Chains A and B, each alone.
Chain A
Amino acid sequence: MSDLEQFRAETRAWLEANCPPEMREPVRTEKDAVWGGRDQSEMTPAQKLWMDRMGARGWTVPDWPKDYGGGGLSAAETKILREEMAKLRCRNPLSSFGISMLGPALLKYGNEAQKKEHLPKIARGEIRWCQGYSEPNAGSDLASLATKAEDKGDHFLVNGQKIWTSYANKADWIFCLVRTDPTNKHNGISFVLFDMRTPGVSTKPILLISGYSPFCETFFDNVKVPKENLVGELNKGWDVAKYLLGHEREMISGMGLGGGGKNPLIEGAKKTIGLDDDGRLADPLLRGQIALFEVRARAFAAQSERFIDELKAGQAHPAQPSMMKYYGTELNKARYELMMAAGGSDQLEWESDATEHGREVRAWLRTKANSIEGGTSEVQLNIIAKRILNLPGA
């Protein structure tokens, strides 16, 4: 048996022995996702057990170095772990902005003390992070951000406002872009970390069209941030920000995949519309639309696999996350439009028990943000045009 085959066999045995049965059920609602954090009171015992067991092995972040709480696995081993988890339908033990966004940025730009302090806590799900990027007047043109950080000797004094801060009201710490030089747009931004319990930090949830409030306005009023919490060099935060955005786009592009198990779009359509005598969906036009959508969805699943493989091998174009983000989010919006068409008027019930309090209709509305957050589709197309196709500037 080769080393990898042996690793696969051992991994499978460990997963079978350690993944609680509840953690092999399909993810259905937002409550099924585990974010970690200081407050773990809303986690079920099975969620906590699964997160802790995987965290102890470093398998919440299998390819991070062991020194920083990771699993120290190679690209091939990481792929095997994911494959075996998929086969057993193991849920992701922990999904957080710490894992998908801050972690990779700290690994590249953080100093040793920062990596030692923050990465293991992310890996074990002890600290939940949020991202302070967008501002009321800095959306697509993110680099025009104005939240000010003044040098006060041993600390920065931060004043300003962020918006669209996902789950800021539930987060323990924030990674935040601040202006440290008002005279220089891109080279006047710094990347800092601070505790959301620091005096002067307040959050206000924003009610969205889905009726939920996943985003907040976040206010900073004379917030003291220790100097050692600066990541990378002063005024060079834009490099960190761009690197991190690449990882954010990767994460959001995963939404195009639609998850494993039974296909909710097809199952939903069968339920409301039914099959004809030949076993085909009784609405031929909708069937055709779904079938052509599924071609793209399956092809995108292959592209996601290819992208991850290229990334791990250092072969991916640095701007390729923009393509993934663009395609994945547009695909996810298309999926939900078809799910709404398949569900018909049943699906429109906003609060009923039958729709589980409007689960799909609210999720449909939520997807509309996919192509806005993390850089709009139009911004991604600009990046592809300039950095991959090398088209001339306007």
Chain B
Amino acid sequence: MPLFLNDEQTMLRDTAKDFVAEHAPVSHMRKLRDDNDATGFSRDLWKQFADMGFTGILIGEDHGGLGLGHVEAGVVLEEIGRNLSPSPFLATAVAAVEALKGTDHAQRWYPGILAGETVAALAIDEGAKHRTAVGLKAERAGNGFRLTGKKQFVTHGHVADLLIVAARTAGSPDDEAGVTLFAVPKDAAKLTVTPERLADASLAARLEFDGVDVDADAVIGEVDAGRGPLGRLLRAGRTGAAAEMLGVGGGAMDMTVNYLKERKQFGTLIGSFQALQHRAAHLYSEMEVARAAVLKAQQLLDAGDDKADAAVSVAKAMTGLATMLSVQEGVQMHGGIGMTDEYDIGFYMKRQRVLAEMFGDANFHADQLARAAGY
């Protein structure tokens, strides 16, 4: 399979590009922020995503979805990134859909996702940095389990209908085995959800499980075998976050290169200065390499290739590095105006920082790759 988009994927990209730019441009995100919107995204827009078929991209045709892959999901995510559109798409239509795939929960939650009514949130992280360890305790109690512990960085956790929670049913936090994934409904008793606004104006919740009781059928997949669905969730989430970041970095780069062609100083366009040309050209190179890494990971995931794990880490890390450069150069080359709230480039910097952190930053993934390579 060649490493570029095929005709159908290119058509989907064009559709997504037009749709997101029209319905959720940066001004849409700015307005939600200025209104101090308590949801953090537009439910109407989520419905429209469903009407376009986007929310069913990764859902199989047997469940009424499109039965497409990570390349197609990434195409939509890149446009979300380019427009900084607040959306449950990554957590719900990509990561959650993959986690639930092939489990009894699929038929329960997929219809709502397909309809653009259900929103899922991912309760994975327990500390400030993403780790592979899972410590939140799930002990057998009555017919089901009792959950005790904390989660954080749960995007849209305060409004999600479904919380996907990684918990420990056996062993200690660092153990590979003994993890179970749970589907926890939003109104569970003894669950405290505290939304916090992040730097990019998105809302992420801190969750406190103070002995939350769930039925046995809340288990996603099998007890103690949660690394399976959690692995699917993380591979999809990381690849998706990388694709969204490509859009963020690409959007920032386009804005910046355009600015170099408009802004005059010393009586000439600043884009004619070699000092800036070389930096822009270097940035372009980094972004091209990141784009290839993301597409490679998406294709390997879609092919079910066992090299996908490494490719996913390469994609997440490389995109983190390349797009960090993009937003930093973006603000710097815009000069003073780049520091103003009125101008959009700063939003790109904030969004990049959040996505870079999500599901493990470049250092985390470089470390994962090093471990896998035996050093």
A97 at the interface (CB under 8 A from B): no
A138 within 8 A of B: no
Asked if B375 contacts A391 (CB within 8 A), the reply is no
In the complex, which of the residues B3, B272, B363 contacts A288, with contact meaning CB atoms closer than 8 Å? B363
The answer for the CA separation of A290 and B3 in the assembled complex, in Å, is: 26
Q: Which residues of B contact A302 (CB under 8 A)?
A: 3, 289, 292-293, 295-296, 311, 314
With A298-B310, A299-B292 as contacts: A392 and B272 at CB distance below 8 Å:
yes
A310-B3 Cα distance, complex, nearest whole Å? 8
Q: In the complex, what residue of chain A is closest to B278 when comparing beta carbons?
A: A381
| Interface contact A295-B373, CB-CB below 8 Å | no
In this complex, which of B291, B313, B362, B374 has the most chain A Cβ atoms within 10 angstroms of its Cβ? B374
Q: Number of A interface residues, CB 8 Å?
A: 49
Nearest-neighbour CB distance to chain A for B264, whole angstroms, equals 10
Per-residue CB proximity of A359-394 to B under 8 Å, as 1/0? 000000000000000000010111011101111111
Contacts of B284 in A (CB 8 A): 323, 384, 388-389
B214 within 8 A of A: no
Which residues of B are found within 8 Å of A313, using beta-carbon distances? 2, 4
Within 8 A of B (CB), among A266-294: 266, 269-270, 275, 279-281, 287-288, 290-292, 294
CB proximity to B under 8 Å, residues A323-365 = 323, 326-327
Q: Is A300 an interface residue (CB 8 A)?
A: yes
* Contact yes or no, B273 A279, CB < 8 A: no
Residues from chain A with Cβ under 8 Å of B260 in the complex: 391
Would you give the 0/1 interface string for B346-364, flagging 1 where the beta carbon is closer than 8 Å to chain A?
Answer: 0000000000000000110
Contact A306 B292 (CB under 8 A): yes
B125 CB to nearest chain A CB (Å): 22
Known contacts: A295-B321, A298-B310, A303-B292. The answer to whether A391 contacts B272 by CB under 8 A is: yes
B165 lies within 8 A of chain A by Cβ: no
* Residue B285 at the chain A interface, CB threshold 8 Å: yes
- The answer on a CB contact under 8 Å between A296 and B369 is no
Please tell me if B367 contacts chain A, counting CB pairs below 8 Å.
yes
Contact A323 B274 (CB under 8 A): no
Q: Is the CB of A296 within 8 A of B375?
A: no
Q: Are A389 and B4 in contact (CB under 8 A)?
A: no
A309 interfacial contact with B, CB 8 Å:
yes
B290 in contact (CB, < 8 A): yes
Contact B370 A299 (CB under 8 A): no
- Given A300-B289, A302-B314, A323-B288, A309 and B363 touching (CB < 8 A)? no
Contacts of B190 in A (CB 8 A): none
Choice from A270, A292, A305, A315 contacting B375 with Cβ under 8 Å: A270
Is residue A41 within 8 Å, beta carbon to beta carbon, of the partner chain?
no
B280 and A385 contacting across the interface, CB-CB below 8 Å: yes
Q: Name the contact of B369 in the complex, choosing from A294, A385, A388 (C-beta under 8 A).
A: A294
Interface check A29, CB cutoff 8 A: no
Residues on A with beta carbons closer than 8 Å to the beta carbon of B362 = 292, 295
**Interface flag for A2 (CB, 8 Å):** no
Interface residues as binary, A97-141 with B (CB distance below 8 Å gives 1, 0 otherwise): 000000000000000000000000000000000000000000000
Q: Which of B321-375 contact A (CB under 8 A)?
A: 321, 362-363, 365-367, 369-371, 373-375
Complexed CA–CA distance, A160 and B374 (Å): 55
Interchain CB contact under 8 A, A326 and B4: no
Are B272 and A393 in contact (CB-based, < 8 A)?
yes
Contact with A along B294-319 (1 / 0, CB 8 A): 01100000000000001101110110
* Interchain CA distance A286-B273 in the complex, whole Å: 36
Q: Is B269 an interface residue (CB 8 A)?
A: yes
Q: Which residues of B contact A275 (CB under 8 A)?
A: 375
CB distance from B250 to the nearest CB of A (A): 13
- Pick the contact of B366: A291, A306, A312, A388 (CB < 8 A): A291
| A290, B371: Cα distance in complex, Å | 12
Q: How far is the CB of B67 from chain A (nearest CB, A)?
A: 22
Question: A280: which B residues are within 8 A, CB to CB?
Answer: 370-371, 375
* Docked-complex contact A292 and B3, CB < 8 angstroms: no
Measured CB to CB, the nearest residue on chain B to A275 is: B375
A295 in contact with B317 (CB, 8 Å): yes
User: From residue A60, how far is it (CB to closest CB) to chain B in Å?
Assistant: 23
Are the C-beta atoms of B288 and A303 separated by less than 8 Å?
yes
Q: How far is the CB of B246 from chain A (nearest CB, A)?
A: 12
CB of A392 within 8 A of CB of B285, answer: no
CB of A263 closer than 8 Å to a CB of B: yes
Interfacial chain B residues near A385, Cβ < 8 Å: 277-278, 280-281
A sample of 9 more A-B contacts (CB under 8 A), given A302-B292, A306-B291, A323-B288, is A266-B374, A291-B366, A291-B369, A294-B370, A294-B373, A295-B317, A296-B289, A326-B285, A384-B284
9 tightest A-B CB contacts, nearest first: A385-B277, A303-B292, A384-B281, A291-B366, A299-B293, A302-B296, A309-B2, A306-B3, A299-B318
Can you spell out 8 A-B residue pairs with CB atoms less than 8 angstroms apart? A266-B374, A280-B371, A295-B321, A296-B289, A302-B292, A306-B291, A384-B281, A385-B277
